[in-house]
Structure 1
Amino acid sequence: MVRIGAHVDQDDPLAHAAARGADAVQFFLGDPQGWKGPVVSEGAALTTAADVDVYIHAPYVINVATANNRIRIPSRKLLSQHLTAAAELGAKGLVVHGGHVNAGDDPQIGFDNWRKVFERMECPIPVLIENTAGGGNAMARKLERIARLWDALDGLDVGFCLDTCHAHAGGEDLVDLVERVQAITGRIDLVHCNNSRDAFDSGADRHANLGSGQIDPELILAVCRAAGAPIIVETPGDGQGDDIAFLRKNL
């Protein structure tokens, strides 16, 4: 059985894991919308000695793909800081969104900027690039873009996090999605297992619990089975326990 867990608040991840019946947790180290460096709470520090797998999600503001120096350079610094802090916690990986370039920019700029990150940064634990739901010039919304990103990262040890809501909202059919992703990346390190509040190809990043939303739960289960990777639900918190129980029963 794969490890199944939830995205929880950083104040006391172990208590939140126990309340949900989770054997894995994901959390932020600080404000996900802010530029300050990581802060490890007392509760988060306790995860290092527990039999719970830990994943850290990098702040949403990070965008290492952009040509805007005032965003890209601080993004690299913040990513490096979170990578170091996540490694000190013994995390299995650091999840970061693929980012985007501006509407008039050549996407290749973004792919090249991603390569520079891994050429210049030590990675004590895997960096897991996550597919995203929206953005017309996103690096990791469509599989065609993910393929170009992985071409740019050829020869580098980079992981992948597959989000089911993001794929659906981003316009990628979940049928045979795992096979199509693995044909590009060669790996799926983590599944963000979420239903979607909004319609296919809506571009809206709004998660729903597994039993509700616009995606057939059987399709979500099929993705999880095919991926064979650890699972984190990022669904509304009051239903996370039920979502984890649903996955355990049906996987």
Structure 2
Amino acid sequence: MLIGAHVDFEDPLAEAAARNADVVQFFLADPQGWKAPEARPDAAVLRDSAVQIFIHAPYVINLASTNNRIRIPSRKLLGQHAAAAATVGASGLIVHGGHVNKGEDVATGIENWRKALQQARDNGGLPVQVLIENTAGGDNACARRFDELARLWDAVGDFGVGFCLDTCHAHAGGEELLDIVDRVKGITGRIDLVHANGSRDGFDSGRDRHDNLTVKNSEPGMIDPELVAAVVRAAGAPAVVETPGGAQGQSADIAYLRAHQ
């Protein structure tokens, strides 16, 4: 079982070593910005490393948006990050499921997802697999509630996309963790990566605030770390902690997951 962490992009392999991580995830550019990623001088070293690499796309990407000034740049930025992710040997590019605005039909956002992937296919395809990630909040999200996720997958599943399951997002989004792997696989047929995160907020809060697994939270409604470990075991996919505390906090979370596999 490959277990690792989301780390700073400056020197991902050093960060992996500091955490005893088998896998790392990082950004290639400002996660809140629209700039294309720059070429990395360590690309060959990253490609040749034994550490498995995943790239997280910027948060600003919203392929579901009905706003042309967001949707069209999102498609462009997706292609740029996919190309850059390929140069570092990434196993996948994680992209949030996106949303439409209040009062708009989520079906429109789902169709926009399909159009984005069709456009990419028509232009020769993306060089790395897109992993759609479930999200924590919003009543107009395409991948918060699993009934919407099922509609999204019906539209995009044939484009070869994968799925990234975030335990904090599921918990905050109102989806129980107890049987979640079976429910996700029943929809998507796959889980390609787990974001193994605790939550600082209660069930169905809609709030995306990650917490460590090694801090046992006695407040009602918080995630039991043993449930997160069970999700990782059942998923049979690489797992990444996106938890606070830097190398020390994440190392403890990684060790916890390994001890419970």
Q: Distance in 2 between matches of 1:154 and 1:17?
A: 32
Q: Distance in 1 between matches of 2:207 and 2:3?
A: 25
Aligned position for 1:182? 185
Aligned residue type for 1:109: T
Higher deviation after alignment, 42-51 or 64-73 = 42-51
Task: List gaps (5 residues or longer) in structure 1.
Answer: none
Aligned position for 2:203? 200
Q: Distance in 2 between matches of 1:3 and 1:229?
A: 8
C-alpha contact (below 8 Å) 1:128/1:189 kept by paired residues: yes
Aligned position for 1:24? 23
Q: Distance in 2 between matches of 1:9 and 1:108?
A: 36
Offset of residue 120 of structure 1 = 1.3
Offset of residue 40 of structure 1 = 4.1
TM-score when scaled to structure 1?
0.97
TM-score when scaled to structure 2?
0.93
Q: What SS does the aligned partner of 1:70 have?
A: helix
Aligned position for 1:83? 82
C-alpha contact (below 8 Å) 2:43/2:87 kept by paired residues: no
Aligned position for 1:125? 128
1:32-76 CA-partner distances (Å, limit 9, x unpaired)? 000000124445653112111000000000001011000000000
Aligned position for 1:15? 14
1:198-228 CA-partner distances (Å, limit 9, x unpaired)? 1111111000011235210111111111100
Aligned position for 1:155? 158
Offset of residue 247 of structure 1 = 1.1
Q: Distance in 1 between matches of 2:206 and 2:60?
A: 18
Pairwise mapping of residues 21-170 of structure 1 onto structure 2 (< 5 A)?
21-43=20-42, 46-121=45-120, 122-170=125-173
Offset of residue 156 of structure 1 = 2.0
Task: List gaps (5 residues or longer) in structure 2.
Answer: none
Q: Distance in 1 between matches of 2:242 and 2:143?
A: 19
1:175-198 CA-partner distances (Å, limit 9, x unpaired)? 100000000000000000000011
Q: Distance in 1 between matches of 2:23 and 2:157?
A: 30
After the TM superposition, which parts of structure 1 deviate over 2 Å for at least 4 consecutive aligned residues?
Answer: 39-46
Aligned residues: 250
Aligned residue type for 2:161: V
Aligned residue type for 2:96: H
Q: What SS does the aligned partner of 1:146 have?
A: helix
Q: What SS does the aligned partner of 1:191 have?
A: strand
RMSD over equivalenced CA pairs, Å: 1.1
Percent identity between matched residues is 65
Aligned position for 1:225? 233
Offset of residue 135 of structure 1 = 1.1
Q: What SS does the aligned partner of 1:155 have?
A: helix
